Protein backbone atom coordinates (compact mmCIF):
# COMPACT_ATOMS: atom_id res chain seq x y z
CA UNK A 1 0.00 0.00 0.00
CA UNK A 2 1.30 3.41 -0.95
CA UNK A 3 0.91 6.52 1.17
CA UNK A 4 -1.39 7.94 -1.50
CA UNK A 5 -3.70 4.88 -1.32
CA UNK A 6 -3.75 5.19 2.46
CA UNK A 7 -4.72 8.85 2.27
CA UNK A 8 -7.49 8.12 -0.21
CA UNK A 9 -9.00 5.37 1.92
CA UNK A 10 -8.76 7.46 5.08
CA UNK A 11 -10.48 10.38 3.37
CA UNK A 12 -13.26 8.16 2.00
CA UNK A 13 -13.88 6.68 5.45
CA UNK A 14 -13.59 10.10 7.13
CA UNK A 15 -10.76 8.80 9.36
CA UNK A 16 -8.13 11.27 10.53
CA UNK A 17 -4.48 10.13 10.58
CA UNK A 18 -1.55 11.47 12.57
CA UNK A 19 1.85 12.00 10.90
CA UNK A 20 3.19 8.97 12.78
CA UNK A 21 0.29 6.80 11.54
CA UNK A 22 0.87 7.94 7.98
CA UNK A 23 4.41 6.77 8.34
CA UNK A 24 3.81 3.29 9.74
CA UNK A 25 0.38 2.27 8.39
CA UNK A 26 1.30 1.63 4.73
CA UNK A 27 3.87 -0.98 5.75
CA UNK A 28 1.60 -2.58 8.38
CA UNK A 29 -1.43 -2.73 6.09
CA UNK A 30 0.72 -4.19 3.31
CA UNK A 31 1.72 -6.99 5.68
CA UNK A 32 -1.93 -7.67 6.55
CA UNK A 33 -2.88 -7.76 2.88
CA UNK A 34 -0.13 -10.22 2.00
CA UNK A 35 -1.14 -12.40 4.94
CA UNK A 36 -4.74 -12.50 3.69
CA UNK A 37 -3.52 -13.11 0.13
CA UNK A 38 -2.67 -16.66 1.17
CA UNK A 39 -6.37 -17.31 0.47
CA UNK A 40 -5.77 -16.62 -3.21
CA UNK A 41 -3.88 -19.93 -3.34
CA UNK A 42 -6.89 -21.99 -2.24
CA UNK A 43 -8.69 -23.89 -4.98
CA UNK A 44 -12.36 -22.88 -4.67
CA UNK A 45 -13.26 -24.32 -8.05
CA UNK A 46 -16.01 -26.60 -6.69
CA UNK A 47 -17.03 -24.49 -3.72
CA UNK A 48 -20.30 -22.54 -3.76
CA UNK A 49 -19.77 -18.88 -2.84
CA UNK A 50 -20.54 -17.99 0.77
CA UNK A 51 -22.73 -14.92 0.72
CA UNK A 52 -23.65 -15.04 4.36
CA UNK A 53 -22.18 -17.05 7.20
CA UNK A 54 -25.48 -18.22 8.69
CA UNK A 55 -27.78 -20.55 6.79
CA UNK A 56 -31.01 -18.90 7.74
CA UNK A 57 -33.73 -17.41 5.58
CA UNK A 58 -34.53 -13.77 6.21
CA UNK A 59 -37.25 -12.71 8.63
CA UNK A 60 -40.13 -10.69 7.28
CA UNK A 61 -42.69 -8.45 8.91
CA UNK A 62 -46.26 -7.78 7.76
CA UNK A 63 -47.02 -4.41 6.25
CA UNK A 64 -48.57 -2.81 9.30
CA UNK A 65 -48.07 0.70 10.58
CA UNK A 66 -46.58 0.88 14.07
CA UNK A 67 -46.29 3.97 16.24
CA UNK A 68 -43.43 6.31 15.39
CA UNK A 69 -41.50 8.42 17.88
CA UNK A 70 -43.06 11.71 18.87
CA UNK A 71 -41.48 14.69 17.12
CA UNK A 72 -40.02 15.82 20.43
CA UNK A 73 -38.34 12.44 20.88
CA UNK A 74 -37.17 12.36 17.28
CA UNK A 75 -35.59 15.79 17.52
CA UNK A 76 -34.36 15.46 21.12
CA UNK A 77 -30.70 14.91 20.25
CA UNK A 78 -30.55 17.44 17.45
CA UNK A 79 -28.45 20.51 18.30
CA UNK A 80 -30.20 22.72 15.74
CA UNK A 81 -33.98 22.35 15.29
CA UNK A 82 -35.98 24.76 13.09
CA UNK A 83 -39.76 24.37 12.71
CA UNK A 84 -39.63 20.64 13.37
CA UNK A 85 -36.76 20.09 10.95
CA UNK A 86 -33.18 19.04 11.58
CA UNK A 87 -31.07 21.97 10.41
CA UNK A 88 -27.70 21.08 8.89
CA UNK A 89 -24.84 23.26 7.69
CA UNK A 90 -24.30 24.10 4.05
CA UNK A 91 -24.07 20.87 2.04
CA UNK A 92 -21.96 21.91 -0.95
CA UNK A 93 -18.30 22.64 -0.20
CA UNK A 94 -16.77 25.88 -1.42
CA UNK A 95 -14.76 25.44 -4.63
Partner 1 sequence: MADWEVVVGLEIHAELLTKSKVFCGCSTEFGAAPNSQVCPVCLGLPGSLPLLNKRAVELAIKAGLALQCRINQFSMFDRKQYFYPDLTKAYQISQDGLPLCSGGYVELLVEDTVRRIGINRVHLEEEAGKSIHAGEDIMSAAYSLLDYNRAGIGLIEIVTEPDIRSPEEARLFLEKLRLLLQYTEVSDCKMEEGSLRCDANISLRPRGSSAFGVKTEIKNLNSFRAVQRALEFEVERQKALLEAGEAVLPETRHWDEAQGMTFSMRSKEEAADYRYFPDPNLYPLKVDPSWVEAVRAELPELPDARRDRFMDEYGLSLYAAEVLTSSRDLADYFEECLAEVKDPKLVSNWVMGEVQRWLKAHGLEAASSPVRPKDLAGLLGLIQQNAVSNIVAKDVLEEMFTTGKPAEVIVEEKGWKQISDDESLEAMILEVLEANPGPVADVKAGKAKAIGFLVGQVMKASKGKANPQKVNELIRQRLQV
User: Contact positions toward partner 1, by CB under 8 A?
Assistant: 12, 14, 51-52, 54, 56-69, 71, 74-75, 82-93, 95
Question: Which of residues 23 and 85 has its CB atom nearest to partner 1 in the complex?
Answer: 85
Contact 17, 6 (CB under 8 A): yes
CB of 33 to partner 1, least distance (A): 17
Are 21 and 6 within 8 A, CB to CB?
A: no
DSSP run (H or E) holding 82: strand 81-82
The smaller minimum CB distance to partner 1, of residues 42 and 65, is found at: 65
The Cα–Cα gap between 87 and 81 comes to 6
Q: Is the CB of 33 or the CB of 74 nearer to partner 1?
A: 74
Amino acid sequence: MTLQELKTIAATARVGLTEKEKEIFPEQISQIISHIQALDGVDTHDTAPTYYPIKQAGFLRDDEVEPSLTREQALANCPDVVDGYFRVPRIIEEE
